[in-house]
């Protein structure tokens, strides 16, 4: 046994010894290769260093040439009239001692609907307005500052910019392209001539002993999708920055919803859309066509990163010109005409077919009590198809025509009523005064009710409308939508929970029985139009949703 163990131990010692020898052999070989490589590398480097370069020809800076795209010529032409605007908003004392309100009274989402948020950035509806720098929402202990752009339109110092750039500012400073770049010099003090929040346009003025350079305004109606444009401004405070792109859409609306009465907040804002790079600080700067003419003012961007993502919006120059001319007038304000109606901005083709205005027109949803339309006899469900003999296709065209009318004047409306066209003379009122007393309404909660028979066809359940809600909405009867099945017909036409149905296909819905009777009579392929009321908007009148039943 002992001899056997000694024999095995000897073999193991030999194997271990063999492994060690092999290991040392490999390491030695690698070391030799590394050393050889280093020597070869040194020889190559030395050989390169010894090359004779006396025959190499030195490079020369070529003479400047003028490129053919014209961008540089336009930038030189327009650039001197583009200005930097910086504002100061002083801290405001709050009612609680020892605390201060933010510079603009920010809402809980950290957004300021009117701009002017200074270092906290500027946002409006779903997109970021430009100006200011993104921040963390900390309380301000000193003046809050914001940056923007503008452009000179009159050599006497009149400048156009965005209202949100200067809104709530205590001091407004302007720097020209020729002014000092010293950061300690804020620039020339400016005064506000007038503002129009509806279009987010403002006019300010600076003093100058000599005539100032100006831009040339063009006709924005001539701008076409695909045209080259330049955006000029002061993004992030970087002066005289130019970016190029194309017009990617026209007459673009940014859906901001309506107020408590259903009146759209941005019905006068129809933008030129561009993919030219626009960033914080570009707000108020010009959008220029290839003729060197300003066809828009950079106003908003759609972004998820607070920077450029290729979709920017510019207020058309034709709108700017109209607003500017009113703001420099003695009253320094914009007056818009109104006939005193409210309507649903967009309706489905099924609604148009059912009510007979497939070729265009605007269905009246509500008539403002005491307004011109009410006095002229305009009624809900009337369809306005023309103004002073000019056919209108939609609400945008109606607003564009009527808003330009002077309060106190009269227009002739072509109206469809019960399938017949009539002509009605209607007065024009001051829009701001007409709607200033429209109140806010709050929603009422409803008690649960019985299920309805229309669930299989529409995908909704309904209940009777409480008497209190009927009185508040000025209706008799109706049913309230209590639930909507995802993917159903109601879901596809955006008939939402809480809506009060008062009619289906012109048949009044007075209770659940009448609702069930109408629902039972409908079949696949029928156009179905619901007339609804929204409890949150008791003054908003009827809304129409519809589609073709699958």
Annotated catalytic sites, by residue? Answer: 164, 200, 283
Q: Which helix (H) or strand (E) holds 164?
A: helix 163-166
Identify the CA nearest to 484 among candidates 459, 464, 511, 518: 459
What CA–CA distance (Å, rounded) separates 79 from 127?
27
- Cα 299 to Cα 9, 165, 191, 236, 272: the distances in Å are 89, 10, 21, 15, 10
Query: Under a CB-based contact definition with an 8 Å cutoff, are residues 258 and 541 in contact?
Result: no
Query: Under a CB-based contact definition with an 8 Å cutoff, are residues 289 and 218 in contact?
Result: yes
SS (H, E, C) 107-153: CCCCCCCCCCCHHHCEEECCEEECCCCCCCCCCCCCCEEEEEEEEEE
Indicate the pairing of strand 293-301 with strand 216-217.
parallel
Indicate the pairing of strand 543-548 with strand 341-343.
unpaired
**CA 78 to chain CA mean position, Å:** 26
In three-state secondary structure terms, 529 is: strand
Identify the CA nearest to 540 among candidates 374, 368, 356, 392: 368
DSSP secondary structure of 398-466 = HHHHHHTSPTT-EEEEEEEETTEEEEEEEE-EEHHHHHTTPPP------------TTHHHHSEEEEEPP
């Amino acid at each position: 046994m002992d001899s056997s163990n000694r024999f095995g131990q000897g073999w193991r010692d030999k194997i271990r010894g063999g492994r060690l020898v092999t290991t040392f052999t490999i390491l030695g070989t690698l070391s030799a290769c590394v050393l050889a490589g280093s020597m070869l590398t040194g020889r190559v480097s030395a050989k390169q260093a010894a090359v004779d370069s006396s025959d190499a020809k030195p490079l020369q800076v070529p003479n400047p040439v003028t490129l053919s795209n014209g961008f540089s010529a336009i930038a030189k032409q327009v650039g001197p009239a583009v200005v930097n605007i910086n504002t100061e908003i002083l801290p405001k004392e709050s009612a609680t001692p020892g605390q201060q309100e933010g510079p603009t009274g920010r809402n809980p989402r950290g957004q300021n609907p009117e701009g002017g948020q200074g270092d906290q950035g500027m946002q409006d509806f779903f997109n970021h307005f430009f100006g200011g720098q993104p921040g963390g929402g900390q309380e301000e202990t000193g003046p809050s500052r914001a940056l923007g752009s503008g452009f000179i339109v009159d050599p006497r110092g009149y400048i156009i910019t965005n209202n949100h750039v200067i809104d709530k500012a205590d001091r407004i400073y302007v720097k020209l392209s020729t002014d000092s770049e010293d950061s300690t010099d804020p620039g020339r003090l400016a005064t506000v001539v007038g503002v129009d929040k509806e279009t987010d346009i403002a006019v300010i003025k600076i003093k100058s002993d000599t005539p100032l350079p100006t831009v040339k305004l063009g006709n924005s109606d001539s701008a076409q999708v695909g045209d080259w444009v330049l955006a000029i401004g002061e993004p992030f405070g970087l002066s005289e920055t130019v970016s190029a792109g194309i017009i990617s859409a026209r007459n673009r609306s940014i859906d901001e919803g309506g107020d408590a009465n259903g009146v759209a907040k941005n019905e006068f804002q129809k933008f030129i859309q561009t993919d030219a790079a626009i960033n914080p600080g570009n707000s108020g700067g010009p959008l220029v066509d290839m003729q060197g003419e300003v066809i828009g003012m950079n106003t908003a961007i759609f972004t998820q990163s607070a920077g450029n993502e290729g979709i920017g919006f510019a207020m058309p120059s034709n709108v700017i010109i109209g607003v500017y001319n009113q703001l420099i007038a003695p009253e320094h304000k914009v007056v818009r005409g109104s006939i005193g109606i409210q309507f649903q901005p967009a309706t489905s083709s099924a609604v148009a077919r059912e009510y007979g205005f497939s070729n265009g027109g605007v269905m009246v949803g509500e008539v403002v009590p005491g307004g011109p339309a009410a006095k002229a006899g305009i009624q809900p469900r009337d369809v306005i198809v023309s103004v002073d003999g000019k056919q209108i296709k939609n609400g945008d065209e109606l607003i564009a025509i009527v808003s330009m009318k002077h309060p106190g004047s009269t227009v002739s409306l072509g109206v469809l009523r019960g399938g017949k066209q009539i002509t009605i003379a209607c007065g024009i009122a001051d829009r701001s005064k007409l709607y200033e007393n429209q109140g806010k309404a709050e929603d009422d909660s409803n008690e649960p009710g019985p299920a309805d028979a229309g669930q299989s066809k529409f995908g909704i359940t309904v209940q009777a409308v409480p008497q209190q809600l009927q009185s508040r909405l000025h209706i008799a009867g109706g049913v309230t939508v209590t639930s909507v099945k995802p993917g159903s017909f109601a879901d596809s036409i955006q008939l939402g929970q809480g809506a009060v149905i008062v009619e289906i296909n012109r048949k009044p819905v007075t209770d659940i029985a009448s609702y069930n009777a109408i629902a039972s009579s409908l079949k696949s392929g029928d156009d179905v139009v619901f007339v609804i009321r929204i409890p949150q908007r008791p003054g908003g009148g009827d809304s129409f949703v519809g589609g073709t039943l699958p």
